[in-house]
Amino acid sequence: MSLNSDDPNQYAEIYNGSENTNKRIRILDSTLREGEQHPGISFTVKQRIQIAWLVDSFGVDQIEISPIVSRDHAEATKTIINQRLRADILAHVRAIKSDVDVAIDCGATWVATYMGISDIHLSSKLKITREEAKIRALEVVDYIKSHGLKARFTMEDASRTDPRFLIDMCREINRLGIERISIPDTVGIMRPRGMYNLVKMVCESIDMSKSSVDVHCHNDIGLALANSLSGCDAGADQIHTTIDGLGERTGIPTLAETAVALTLLYKTKNDLRLHMLKDLSRTISQYTGLQTPLSKPIIGDSAYKHKAGTHLAAILRNPAAYEILDPRTVGNRRKIVFGELAGKNGAAYLLSILGLDTNVHDAEALARGLKHLRMGDVLELYLDEHLERKILNDAAPKLS
Ligand code: HCA
Ligand code: CU
């Protein structure tokens, strides 16, 4: 960490600490699988192929898709596998041999299989005993491995599973030489410390030279990304995301927030093309017809919008006063709102960009006028590159 007196984030970095920074944390994007489980979403085959291309060129490590949902899901899976993208393509199926056969028919080289192993999933969903679940899981993993394929096994509802049974399952599956084990917080009930303890327990129970651990955290209380990062602090090395966080109910971590957290806070080595983030979100929203909330971090339209007069005054001198990164880094734009809170500094700036004199009297008069504006008729401006340069070079207009 460099203590450069010009770096406004330097003290925050001291509190964040350097534990696990630089550790390579991978991203699996599940927009095509978990994302399609979001109410009202169903992509066309062509859209699925385009999404795979996009997240691959963004730089994720793995892409997950379910071939068993329908014929056209299988077709999309097959076509995407044939594209020979850089990311691994995982066919996500139930822990049932006939499902694995569908994945194999699609030409999968990676199969991700899942089974609910908490007592409530075993009794209410699968209607089998723990012993039967274990036999089924081991047979399926064995079956995938006997085809020479790479495999992941998901301990669905891990956070609500009896730890003794969870450890037993993880050990047995690890012994079969599975490449990855996914530990999901399927219902989003963990707090960060809980996810840490859960993942640590799993990592300490298995031979990590054989299997690596994924975290898949649901956002029911809004803690999905915090919990995922905590799981990585405890030993996992891959986070599941979707574009805009789409998924069952309230979804999982967004690709954008995860990618920025890893790059900015964890300084994890990667070649993610962060500047694609806003466009990825825009494309998905066109495909789904769902509007991305304005306040969504990183890619929301208000993510770099400044309104209060005190904020404007500072932003006009140095945007880092209220921004942790340059919005262009993530393909977004800074916006200034000239409304009832703009104050005389904001008003003076508005006058200057309109090519008018910036004297105190006019600025105050304009600020008073702006006070009468209410939501809806507020003036909102993007700063084009010329104006952005002007801000940084000239700082705020001087009030004469
Ligand atoms: C599901 C369950 C899952 C699986 C996660 C994973 C979960 O909807 O099928 O395979 O890592 O949240 O447990 O999404
Ligand atoms: Cu899930």
- Kindly report the pTM of this predicted structure: 0.93
Is 288 within 8 Å of 282 (Cβ atoms)? Answer: no
Place of tokens 């105190």: 360
Question: For residue 274, how far is its CA from the centre of ligand 1 (angstroms)?
Answer: 26
- Residue 277 to residue 244: CA distance in whole angstroms: 10
Query: For the purposes of burial, counting CB atoms within 10 Å of the CB of 98, is it exposed (0-12), middle (13-18) or buried (19 or more)?
Result: exposed
Question: For residue 247, how far is its CA from the centre of ligand 2 (angstroms)?
Answer: 7
248 lines ligand 1 (CB under 6 A): yes
CA atoms within 13 A on the CB side of 205: 20
182 lines ligand 1 (CB under 6 A): yes
Fold type of domain 16-288: TIM Barrel (3.20.20)
Looking at ligand 1, which atom is closest to the CA of residue 182? 11
Residue from 36, 154, 215 whose mutation best tests the ligand 1 pocket (most atoms within 8 A of CB): 154
Q: What is the pLDDT along the chain (400 residues), one digit of tens a residue?
A: 445 568 899 999 999 887 767 789 999 999 999 999 998 899 999 999 999 999 999 999 999 999 999 999 999 999 999 999 999 999 999 999 999 999 999 999 999 999 999 999 999 999 999 999 999 999 999 999 999 999 999 999 999 999 999 999 999 999 999 999 999 999 999 999 999 999 999 999 999 999 999 999 999 999 999 999 999 999 999 999 999 999 999 999 999 999 999 999 999 888 999 999 999 999 999 999 999 999 999 999 999 999 888 998 898 889 999 999 999 999 999 988 888 888 888 888 888 888 888 888 889 988 888 888 766 556 777 766 666 666 555 555 555 4
66 lines ligand 1 (CB under 6 A): no
Supply the residue whose CA is at minimum distance from atom 10 of ligand 1: 154
230 lines ligand 1 (CB under 6 A): no
For the chain, the structural domain boundaries read 16-288, 305-323+330-399
Residue 184 backbone dihedrals phi, psi, to 5 degrees = -95, 150
Question: For residue 51, how far is its CA from the centre of ligand 1 (angstroms)?
Answer: 20
- Residue 121 to residue 110: CA distance in whole angstroms: 25
Per DSSP, 322 falls in state T
Question: For residue 360, how far is its CA from the centre of ligand 2 (angstroms)?
Answer: 57
Question: For residue 35, how far is its CA from the centre of ligand 2 (angstroms)?
Answer: 9
- Residue 142 to residue 45: CA distance in whole angstroms: 31
- Can you spell out the DSSP letters for 217-276? E--TTS-HHHHHHHHHHTT--EEEEBGGG-SSTT-S-BHHHHHHIIIIIS-------GGG
**Nearest Cα to Cα of residue 253 among 289, 227, 271, 272:** 227
